[in-house]
Amino acid sequence: MDFSLTEEQAAIREMAEAFAQDEVAPQAIEWDQAKHFPVDVLRNAMVLGLGGIMVSDAHGGSGLGRIEAVLVYEALAKGCPAFSAYLSIHNMVASMIDKHGSEVQKSAYLPRLCTGELLASYCLTEPSCGSDAAALTTRAERDGDDYLLTGQKMFISGAGATDLYVVMARTGGPGAKGVSAFLVEKEAAGLSFGANEKKMGWNAQPTRTVMLDKVRVKADAMLGPEGAGFKLAMEALDGGRTSIAACSLGGAQSALDKAITYTNERKAFGQKLNEFQALQFALAEMAIDLEVSRTFLWRAAAALDAKLPEATQLCAMAKKHVTDAGFDVANRALQLHGGYGYLADYGIEKIVRDLRVHQILEGTNEIMRLIVARTVIAQA
Ligand SMILES: Cc1cc2nc3c(=O)[nH]c(=O)nc-3n(C[C@H](O)[C@H](O)[C@H](O)COP(=O)(O)OP(=O)(O)OC[C@H]3O[C@@H](n4cnc5c(N)ncnc54)[C@H](O)[C@@H]3O)c2cc1C
């Protein structure tokens, strides 16, 4: 166990870092301010194989593992965490189809998802339930050979601009086992979208309510077996949590890199900021926090790849630890910039705003503690 990357992994990371540096970072502040969803640049990333990172090559994907995925998301998030995070959600949906879709669903959607011809959204949260997702009330009623979907999904990333929606809806009784997953195309009659939410960060991707008013889909639009939707949604989130953690890591690393450069240039009291030992220690603490986060994130990702029984718990631990550490490091990097850190042009305040939501979505960090607590208490 030497924790080093293979040549292929190092090359993938380098490729994603170069892309982030050339195509993402130079525009990130502009996207944030204009609330622009850079679909063209997302598609450029997908041309490099990043639209279906873990999708099997038979269906147009890159056939890589979770470790490679977290390397990519960390690298892209150095350019813009919101950009990388949307790409991770798109990939999460593609992987759900790759893993659980019928052959017809796979050939209908995967090649186009991998190239970015289609973009995807994941619809679990509802206005009245987020953390308690198994209480969802969107219904899918059987109507002959079809289902009619009615309800609302809240906070849906990419919604309105994306083409394919995986919607978790109730086909049975209360609780997790009454939920099934459906693939809904944007053009479906009865599907509509709310306004783009005004948010603290993540402005480079839209967030909208998805309204379903008797949306008719064929029975074969169900993803996986009836009643398995909640299980599929949770399984996808195990991986999603490592992706979001990777996005925090990349954003925070970029903030730390900026702080290292800045404290080497800025002077106060006749010396460079990085000549004050208190600030040297601050930089050291930040570097330690990120390296600990990275090493642990790789462990969680490897556990998922190896399908270890403790993978869910490790992913929850990593999501909580890395997103908390990432936000904290970015915020400390802002402090090291003094007043300039508060100005948009320095790019630090945007990172802080973008990383804050990673402590909330894909399961709040309280829910991550709940998952871990359940497991450790069960071991007693
Ligand atoms: C920008 C953005 C993008 C998003 N994108 C998506 C998306 O693409 N798809 C999607 O389905 N969802 C998405 N979400 C929704 C997100 O996953 C939820 O907001 C999140 O799961 C929390 O749910 P909630 O907002 O309903 O909070 P609530 O569940 O109401 O929680 C409120 C507070 O109570 C705490 N809490 C709740 N239950 C417990 C408990 N048992 N013990 C301790 N504390 C608890 C929570 O941690 C939180 O602090 C997005 C959210 C945002 C903000």
In tens, the pLDDT along 13-54 reads 999 999 999 999 999 999 999 999 999 999 999 999 999 999
Rounded Cα distance between 305 and 193, Å, is: 36
pLDDT tier at 111, thresholds 50, 70, 90? very high
- The pTM (predicted TM-score) of the whole model is 0.98
**Ligand 1 close to Cβ of residue 327 (< 6 A):** no
Cβ of 124: how many Cβ atoms within 10 Å?
26
- Answer yes or no: are the C-beta atoms of 118 and 112 closer than 8 Å: yes
Q: Average of pLDDT values for 252-275?
A: 98
Report the chain's mean pLDDT, rounded to a whole number. 98
Q: Which residues of 153-179 are buried (b: 16+ CB within 10 A; e: fewer)?
A: bbbbbbbbbbbbbbbbbbbeeeebebb
Supply φ then ψ for residue 84, to 5 degrees.
-65, -40
Alpha-carbon radius of gyration of the chain: 21
pLDDT value at residue 244 = 98
Q: How far apart are CA 305 and CA 2, in angstroms?
A: 17
Which band of pLDDT confidence, cut at 50, 70 and 90, is reported for residue 109?
very high
Between the CA atoms of 167, 172, 173 and 175, what dihedral angle is there, to the nearest 10 degrees? Answer: -40
pLDDT computed for residue 25 by the predictor: 98
Number of H helices, E strands in the chain: 11, 10
Distance in Å, CA 363 to ligand 1 centroid: 6
Residue 176's pLDDT band (cuts 50, 70, 90)? very high
Per-residue confidence (pLDDT) for residue 1, from 0 to 100 = 79
Active site residue 362: yes
CA atoms within 13 A on the CB side of 49: 17
Q: What is the pLDDT of residue 90?
A: 98
Residue 180, beta-bridge partner list? 169
- Rounded Cα distance between 111 and 130, Å, is 31
Answer for the pair 317, 243: CB distance below 8 angstroms, yes or no: no
Gap from CA of 291 to ligand 1 centroid (Å): 28
- What is the rounded average pLDDT of the residues 311-335? 98
What pLDDT was estimated at residue 56?
98
Q: What is the pLDDT of residues 75-97, one digit of tens each?
A: 999 999 999 999 999 999 999 99
How far apart CA 321 and CA 246 sit, in angstroms, is 11
Which residue among 103, 235, 362, 366 is the active-site one?
362
Distance 303 CA to ligand 1 centre (A): 25
Would you say the CB of residue 263 lies under 6 angstroms from ligand 1? no
